[in-house]
Amino acid sequence: MKKNPVIPYAIIAVIGILAVIIISVVGIDQRQAIQDAEENGGEQTEQSEEGEGGGETAGGDGDAVFQNNCAMCHGSDLASGSAPNLTEIGSKYSQEELAQIVQEGIGNMPAQSQVQGEDLDALTQWLSEKQ
C-alpha cells in the first residue's frame, strides 16, 4: 500500500491556519487592552508605582514613561541599549529641547508622538536631571 503524501502537508497547513487564528485573537485582545489603557490616561502606570512602595511622584512617572517607551532601545539603565547613552543627556539638552527630540525624533531615532502631555513633561523633566 502506498501512503498519500498530501495528508501530512494538509495536517501541517491546518495546524498553521489554527495558529494564525489563535495569534490573531490574542492580538485583538491586546489591542483592546492598549486602547483601554490610553483612554484611562495612564492610571495603570500610577497604580503600579503605588504597588512598588511609592517614591518621588514626578521622578517615578518619568522613569515609568521611559521604561514603557524608551528602554527597549536605550536600555533600562539609559546606557546598555542599541541607541545612544542617555546617562548625561541633561547636560547636553534643555528640557524643551528634549521634548522636541522626543516628539520629532533625531538622527535614527523615530518620533515618539505617543508620549504627550503630562507623560512628556515627566519624561523630559526626569531626563533633564541626568547630568
Count other Cβ atoms within 10 Å, centred on residue 122: 23
Q: What is the pLDDT of residues 52-75, one digit of tens each?
A: 433 333 445 888 999 999 988 988
* Sign of the CA dihedral with 97 first, then 98, 103, and 108 last: positive
Structure confidence at residue 1 (pLDDT): 60
Q: Could you tell me the three cell numbers for 37?
A: 489603557
What is the residue type of 40? N
Structure confidence at residue 43 (pLDDT): 54
> Can you tell me the distance from the alpha carbon of 61 to that of 64, in angstroms, rounded to the nearest whole number?
5
Check if CATH label 1.10.10.370 holds for domain 54-128: no
Residues annotated in a binding site: 70, 73-74, 109
What is the residue type of 55? G
Residue with cell 508605582: 49
pLDDT: which is higher, 49 or 126 = 126
Residues annotated in a binding site for heme c: 70, 73-74, 109
